[in-house]
Amino acid sequence: RPTWGLSIPQYTEVLQLLAVKVDSEIPLSSPAESVTAMRLSREFRVTWSPEAKKVALSPPDSGGTMDLRGLSSGTGLAIVLAQSGLGFRVIPHPRSGFLLEIDAGGESDNLWPVGWKNKQPVTVVVPAMYRHVEVDLDDEQVTDVLDLIGDRVELPWFSCRERLAADHIDLDRVRFSTPPAKMMPARLLRAIASDSRMSIEPRTDEAGRVFLWCTTVKEQAAWKRRFAHVIPGAETTQPSPR
């Protein structure tokens, strides 16, 4: 259904434009540099809200680059901007094409979502998440464990370090232990998330690729509310943010 003033045909076109895959690593030197490196379609004219302009040229604490290759540009852009507490929305241009407005905010604001709820159950789209594996972790760094899980289930994982830091969670310092056992990756992720006071859940990009998103419990709850109308396995239209 229409959002941000877009008609259904316009919204469908935007989804297609933002489903194009990212083909390079994206620098995190500043939000402005990151947006330029995304090489978005010329149909989009990028604008910045006054709040976003304040941080547009400010380097995030992490710096470096983020490897988004293979992920769709819509979700990729949302992930990169989230590192600085920003997001974006797409609205019709008065003459032609679209305005891609970058603004401050998170999952509870009227911004393009960081991934979508898949229309199929996770057990169907990522069956490896529910196959038991041998687990024995002794005070392991969670980022290393997420790398191992990602390799096992063949999913990339990303995090919103800005929101986690605001919730006093330093992902690089989080550690996790569990005795030897057979455990499904999905259950292991829930255990890590619960122990660390955060959320690690699968989401889907505009092209249908599934990834893991690590964020705060509050942000995940807001995202779930936006997609409460999407019931996996049921006949639904393309999910859209509210």
- Written as one letter, the residue type at 158 is F
Nearest one of 39, 223, 214 to 142, comparing CA atoms: 214
- Interatomic CA distance for residues 186 and 41, integer angstroms: 36
Q: State mean pLDDT over 189-202.
A: 96
The tally of CA atoms less than 13 A away on the side-chain side of residue 93 is: 13
Q: What is the pLDDT of residue 214?
A: 98
Q: What is the tens place of the pLDDT at every residue in 215-227?
A: 999 999 999 998 8
Average pLDDT, the chain: 91
Q: What is the tens place of the pLDDT at every residue in 39-60?
A: 999 999 999 999 999 888 776 6
Contacts of residue 218, defined as CB under 8 A and 6 or more positions apart, other chains included, come to: 167
Helix (H) or strand (E) holding 175, with range, is strand 175-183
Q: What is the tens place of the pLDDT at every residue in 63-91?
A: 789 999 999 999 999 999 999 999 999 99
- Interatomic CA distance for residues 210 and 118, integer angstroms: 8
Q: What is the tens place of the pLDDT at every residue in 137-192?
A: 999 999 999 999 999 999 999 999 999 999 999 999 999 999 999 999 999 999 99
What does the block give as tokens for 229? 């109308």
Q: What is the tens place of the pLDDT at every residue in 109-138?
A: 989 999 999 989 999 999 999 999 999 999
User: DSSP per residue over 10-48, as a string?
Assistant: HHHHHHHHTTSBP-SEEE-S-HHHHHHHT---TTEEEEE
- Written as one letter, the residue type at 88 is F
Neighbours of 207 (CB within 10 A): 17
By the 8 A CB rule, do 213 and 158 touch? yes
**What is the bridge-based pairing of β-strands 86-92 and 98-104?**
antiparallel
Tokens 């199929």, residue? 120
Strand partners, 103: 87
By the 8 A CB rule, do 64 and 28 touch? yes
Question: Collapsing DSSP states into helix, strand and coil, what is residue 101?
Answer: strand
Cα 110 vs. chain centroid, distance in angstroms?
Answer: 15
- Interatomic CA distance for residues 187 and 192, integer angstroms: 9
Q: What percent of the chain clears pLDDT 90, i.e. is strictly above it?
A: 81
Q: Is the pTM of this model over 0.85?
A: yes
